[in-house]
């Protein structure tokens, strides 16, 4: 299995396994980026890079790899050192960056050259302002795409504000996410199918729903205007193609709601009485709510596969939205599920969990899509009808491994309903769903 240099426990791998992981990473990520960089040896510029990672979004610095601007490949040279090289790196970081960032250093040897070392310095984003104290260097650095640059006045102001506000930001993000979710009320029972006035007809609040809210820990301010609204709708049409196609075929209606601080896109399937809402807020938050009830020939049911698909799609939507805003930091993802009066859809013959409403494909292709295998979920005989959960994430952890995050959120939701998830087969099923 390939090693993930960002998330795996590198202390538990051998020197050869770590070297193989570094080789694979350098081959796949030749050019430096927001969260990774290379240096041929430990030196003053390496200190700048570590401080910049700590002050921005965290990242990896691979020491012992030569990569110039014009190079098409990375050269894994290693650094000559008869003793552990990571000790020198750790001492330098502790002596020259204050406060010391949250970091780890891992080391391996180059094949056939035991005295040549390559190190992985894994730096986590900090909430403090990390200053470089070494003489001759600027005190504050930030990451700007593939470079560590001295912070300008505006960036320094933001870092100071972040340090002051970050402690309260985590709690505020959780409260903001819950408020956004509560505002995303799904309606049903529309009495008018006219595409121009359907949203004004008599209807009622649905007893069944999924609500998802993603809020950045750091409050950002955006101007909501038509181009931003168009971008949101474009992302929805791209990621939820069935939603887009049914509107074009006049099988579904759509409308917009807006206020000073939010924009909302609403979609309604006329034949199924099935509504979905997407809302963005001027502080960078984004939310989605959808109906979960689906009527099969026997009984009203809900689908754990649908739930997984909605979570995967929303994570992708949220990361695309944050990238549009230029936000690559931390956030809270809140989920609330109500399946009142519904039976969990599960095949009596195979035991697998089926789909009901797939927002990415037409219903005729539903039987051809990936599902969740029977041993991934242990269904309770006396399940609860409502559940909620919340997880913390960053732009990069969500982008790097959406299946893992989706599995974590789905596992928590299922447990809050009284069901038990088996992690490995559930994650395997989620990876297949994400890939399809």
Q: Is the pLDDT of residue 81 over 70?
A: yes
- For residue 157, which phi and psi values (nearest 5 degrees)? -60, -40
In the structure, what pLDDT confidence band is assigned to residue 399 with cuts at 50, 70 and 90? Answer: confident
Please check whether residue 243 is in contact with residue 236, taking contact to mean a CB–CB distance below 8 angstroms.
yes
DSSP string of 146-184, one letter each residue: TEEEE--HHHHHHHHHHHHHHHHHHHHHHHHHHHHHHH-
Give CA angle at 129 (127, 130), nearest 5°: 110
201, 322: one domain: yes
In the structure, what pLDDT confidence band is assigned to residue 159 with cuts at 50, 70 and 90? Answer: confident
Residue with tokens 């075929």: 249
413/400 Cα distance (integer angstroms):
22
Please report whether residue 1 resides in a domain: no
pLDDT at 1: 55
223/116 Cα distance (integer angstroms):
52
pLDDT at 334: 97
Please report whether residue 300 resides in a domain: yes
Please report whether residue 3 resides in a domain: no
143, 173: one domain: no
Write the pLDDT tens digit of every residue in 193-213.
555 556 666 678 899 999 999
80, 144: one domain: yes
248, 128: one domain: no
Q: What CATH number has the domain bearing residue 25? A: 3.30.950.30
Domain boundary among 88, 118, 151: 151
Q: Is the pLDDT of residue 372 over 50?
A: yes
Write the pLDDT tens digit of every residue in 302-360.
999 999 999 999 999 999 999 888 787 788 999 999 999 999 988 888 888 988 888 88
Please report whether residue 161 resides in a domain: no
DSSP state of 185: -
142/366 Cα distance (integer angstroms):
47
DSSP state of 190: -
In the structure, what pLDDT confidence band is assigned to residue 365 with cuts at 50, 70 and 90? Answer: very low
pLDDT at 197: 59
Domains of the chain: total: 2
Write the pLDDT tens digit of every residue in 220-272.
888 999 999 999 999 999 999 999 998 898 888 889 999 999 999 999 888 88
- What is the phi-psi region of residue 273: left when phi exceeds 0, alpha when psi lies from -120 to 50, beta otherwise? left
Q: Which strand (E) or helix (H) includes residue 203?
A: none
291/203 Cα distance (integer angstroms):
14
Alpha-helical (H) ranges within 264-354 are 304-325
Q: Which strand (E) or helix (H) includes residue 21?
A: helix 15-28
pLDDT at 204: 82
347, 413: one domain: yes
Report in angstroms the alpha-carbon separations of 53 from 35, 101, 321: 7, 9, 22
Write the pLDDT tens digit of every residue in 8-20.
888 889 999 999 9
139, 191: one domain: no
Q: In terms of Cα–Cα distance, which of 336, 359, 212 is closest to 274?
A: 359
Please report whether residue 159 resides in a domain: no
Domain containing 382 equals 168-435
Domain boundary among 106, 126, 151: 151
Query: Which structure tokens are listed for 111?
Result: 């094949």
CA 225 to chain centre: 25
Please report whether residue 238 resides in a domain: yes
276-280 long-range contacts (CB < 8 A, ≥24 apart) are 276/186, 276/240, 276/243, 276/359, 277/184, 277/186, 278/232, 278/236, 278/317, 279/180, 279/183, 279/184, 280/224, 280/228, 280/232, 280/321
Write the pLDDT tens digit of every residue in 415-434.
999 999 999 999 999 999 99
Among 145-149, 210-214, 390-394, name the most confident range.
210-214
- Cut 0.85: pTM above it: no
pLDDT at 237: 94
292, 430: one domain: yes
194, 109: one domain: no
pLDDT at 367: 46
Give CA angle at 38 (36, 42), nearest 5°: 125
83, 197: one domain: no
Domain boundary among 123, 151, 179: 151
Please report whether residue 35 resides in a domain: yes
Query: Which structure tokens are listed for 120?
Result: 């992985």
290, 345: one domain: yes
The secondary structure of 108-126, three-state, reads EEECCEEEEEEEEEEECCC
Q: Is the pLDDT of residue 160 over 60?
A: yes
pLDDT at 315: 97
> What's the rounded mean pLDDT across residues 170-193?
83
138, 179: one domain: no
280, 377: one domain: yes
Q: Is the pLDDT of residue 163 over 80?
A: no
Q: In terms of Cα–Cα distance, which of 257, 408, 282, 420 is closest to 335?
A: 408
Please report whether residue 312 resides in a domain: yes
Query: Is pLDDT larger for residue 296 or for residue 122?
Result: 122
For 205-229, b/e burial (b = at least 16 CB within 10 A) is ebbbbbbbbbbbbbbeeeebeeebb
């Amino acid at each position: 299995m390939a090693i993930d240099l960002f998330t795996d426990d590198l202390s538990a791998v051998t020197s050869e396994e770590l070297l193989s992981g570094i080789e694979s990473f350098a081959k796949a990520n030749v050019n430096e980026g927001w969260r990774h960089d290379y240096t041929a040896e430990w030196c003053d510029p390496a200190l700048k890079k570590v401080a910049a990672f700590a002050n921005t979004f965290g990242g990896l610095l691979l020491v012992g790899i030569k990569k110039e601007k014009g190079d098409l490949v990375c050269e894994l040279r290693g650094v000559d050192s008869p003793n552990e090289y990571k000790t020198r790196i750790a001492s330098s970081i502790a002596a020259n960056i204050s406060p010391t960032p949250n970091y780890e250093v891992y080391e391996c040897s180059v094949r056939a050259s035991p005295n040549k070392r390559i190190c992985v310095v894994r730096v986590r984003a900090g909430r403090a302002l990390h200053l470089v104290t070494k003489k001759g260097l600027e005190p504050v650095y930030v990451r700007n795409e593939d470079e560590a640059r001295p912070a300008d006045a505006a960036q320094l102001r933001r870092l100071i504000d972040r340090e002051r506000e970050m402690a309260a930001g985590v709690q505020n993000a959780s409260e903001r996410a819950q408020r956004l979710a509560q505002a995303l009320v799904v309606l049903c029972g529309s009495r008018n199918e006219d595409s121009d006035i359907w949203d004004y007809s008599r209807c009622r609040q649905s007893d069944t729903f999924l609500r998802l809210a993603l809020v950045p820990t750091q409050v950002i301010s955006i101007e909501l205007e038509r181009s931003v609204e168009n971008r949101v709708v474009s992302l929805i049409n791209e990621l939820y193609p069935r939603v887009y196609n049914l509107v074009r075929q006049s099988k579904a209606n759509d409308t917009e709601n807006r206020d000073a601080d939010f924009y909302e896109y609403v979609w309604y399937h006329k034949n199924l009485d099935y509504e979905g809402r997407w809302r963005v807020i001027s502080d960078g938050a984004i939310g989605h709510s959808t109906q979960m009830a689906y009527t099969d020939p026997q009984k009203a049911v809900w689908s754990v596969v649908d739930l997984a698909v909605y979570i995967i799609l929303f994570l992708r939507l949220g990361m695309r939205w944050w990238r549009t805003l230029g936000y690559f930091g931390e956030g809270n993802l809140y989920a609330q599920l109500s399946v009142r009066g519904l039976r969990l859809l599960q095949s009596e013959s195979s035991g697998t969990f089926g789909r009901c409403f797939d927002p990415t494909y037409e219903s005729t292709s539903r039987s051809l899509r990936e599902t969740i295998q029977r041993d991934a979920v242990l269904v309770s005989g006396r399940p609860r009808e409502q559940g909620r959960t919340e997880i913390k994430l960053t732009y990069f952890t969500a982008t790097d491994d959406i299946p893992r995050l989706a599995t974590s959120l789905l596992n928590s939701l299922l447990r809050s309903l009284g069901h038990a998830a088996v992690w490995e087969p559930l994650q395997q099923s989620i990876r297949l769903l994400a890939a399809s």
